[in-house]
Structure 1
Amino acid sequence: MSSVPFHYIDLRTFCYATEDEKRVTEAVRTFLPEEFEIDRVENAGHHGDRIVVLSARVERADDIRHVLTRLSELPDVETVMDELDDRVDDNCAFFLTLDKQAAFKGEVRRGAGLTLRAKVEAYPAKREAAIENARNALEDVRSTAE
């Protein structure tokens, strides 16, 4: 895969007061290249409890390939590809939620806790073109990883 049809990939999760921030950070790192910077913003919940938002924006092609390679490890990546009509919006953004608990263990599974949003390149910027580009990228990275 010489070029990647994504402008960027955003990963984001919340670390609640009941969670260990280092463990949640490790869960995010499961999808990121080594030494990638993770942004940290501390907030307060409705009842004053601490909530830390951890996020990372991946913009370089090699780093995007790394994230896509990790996504290709999904046991149900075929299902994700079949659901692209529902996962790509009118603004050419691809959405997927990942299992934060599994990610801490280094595993890649769909689930709750970690949100992935990727801006798909499409010229012209049409949803159908974005779906096709996302499908091709996932197929390319999957076949390269095999």
Structure 2
Amino acid sequence: MASVPFHYIDLRTFCYATEDEKRVEEAIRAFLPEEFEVERSTTEGYHGDRIVVLSARVEKADDVRHVLARLSELDDIDRVMDELDDRVDDNCSFFLRLDKQAAFRGEVRRGEGLTLRAKVEAYPAKREAAVENARGALEDVRAAEHGSDEGEAGA
């Protein structure tokens, strides 16, 4: 995949008072390149409890490729691609929710806890063009991952 049709990818999760902040950070880091900076902000829940918001914005092409490669590990990546019409909004943003508990274990699954938002490049900035660009990028990364698996098996 020569170019990556994403301006950036944002990842965000919440660490509630009942959770271990280091473990929650490990979950978000499961999608990030090594040594990537994770930002923290603290807010207060409805009942006065402390909530830490952990987030990261990935902008460099190689870092975006890293996140996409992790997404290609989804068992149902084909289903995600089939749902792109519903997952890309009129502002050309692609949304996906990921399982925070699975991410902590190093697994990639859809679920609750981690939010991914990716701004898709589209010229002109039309939803239909963004859907096609996102589909192409996910197909490319899926093909690259399957190709590397086959190469390793033959070695």
TM bucket, shorter chain: over 0.9
Which residue in the other structure is 1:132 paired with? 132
Which residue in the other structure is 1:26 paired with? 26
TM-score (norm: length of structure 1): 0.99
Give 1:65's aligned amino acid.
Answer: R
In structure 2, runs of 5+ residues without a counterpart are: 147-155
Partner Cα distance (1:93, 1:18) in 2:
31
- Alpha-carbon RMSD across the aligned residues, in angstroms, is 0.3
- 2:23 is the counterpart of 1:36: no
Which residue in the other structure is 1:119 paired with? 119
Q: What is the Cα deviation at residue 44 of structure 1?
A: 1.1
Identity within the alignment, %: 81
Give 1:18's aligned amino acid.
Answer: T
Give 2:78's aligned amino acid.
Answer: E
Q: What is the Cα deviation at residue 47 of structure 1?
A: 1.1
**CA offsets per residue over residues 63-122 of structure 1, 9 Å max, x none?**
000000000000000000000000000000000000000000000000000000000000
Which residue in the other structure is 2:6 paired with? 6
Which residue in the other structure is 1:82 paired with? 82
Q: What is the Cα deviation at residue 45 of structure 1?
A: 0.8
Partner Cα distance (2:70, 2:46) in 1:
35
Partner Cα distance (1:145, 1:82) in 2:
19
Aligned residue pair count: 146
Q: What is the Cα deviation at residue 46 of structure 1?
A: 1.3
